[in-house]
Amino acid sequence: MRAFFKMFLATHIAIFRLTGGRLGSAMRGHHVLLLTTTGNKSGKPRTVPVMQFDLDGKRYVVGSAAGAAEDPAWIKNLRKTPEVGVEVRGEKYRARAAVLGSAERASIYARIAQQAPFFADYEKKARGREIPVVELARI
């Protein structure tokens, strides 16, 4: 299963980049961006497609891992090295990733779950893990 998932991600990323985001920039009716972090152990660039949410002029991504018990690897990566690469349809830029504190996170997560109700399900599946919300501020 892990090999299949890696192949799926690599294909998604390749299609996104090949088409400048015309394909692969939406998932379940929401916008997707490519987030490139620096591997916390390897130091190598690691790219993943993640849903983006633009609220009040700020861009957010969510480390839900579909409600898994642990944060996705990209969260661990950006906690160590917060400068990340962002690719959205037709644009690439560097950003500083900041994991929101609990109070701000709760407010933003609630708004995201209103737009994408499956995130409320992910929170239940996570069984106590506070799913991180990350602001991506262009630098």
Question: How high is the pLDDT of residue 62?
Answer: 96
Domains of the chain and any CATH numbers: 2-138 (2.30.110.10)
Predicted model pTM: 0.91
Question: How high is the pLDDT of residue 8?
Answer: 86
Residue-level pLDDT, tens digit, the chain, 139 residues: 578 878 888 898 989 988 888 888 878 878 999 999 999 999 999 999 999 999 999 999 999 988 888 999 999 999 999 999 999 988 999 999 999 999 999 999 999 999 999 988 998 888 888 999 999 999 9
For residues 116 and 123, give the distance between their C-alpha atoms in angstroms, rounded to a whole number: 12
Question: How high is the pLDDT of residue 1?
Answer: 53
Contact 13, 47 (CB under 8 A): yes
84 CB-near residues (< 8 Å, 6+ apart) = 35, 36, 37, 38, 78, 94, 95, 96, 97, 136
For residues 39 and 61, give the distance between their C-alpha atoms in angstroms, rounded to a whole number: 18
Pairing outcome for strands 133-138 and 30-38: unpaired
Pick from 62, 69, 32, 47: which is nearest to 134 by CA? 62
Question: How high is the pLDDT of residue 66?
Answer: 86
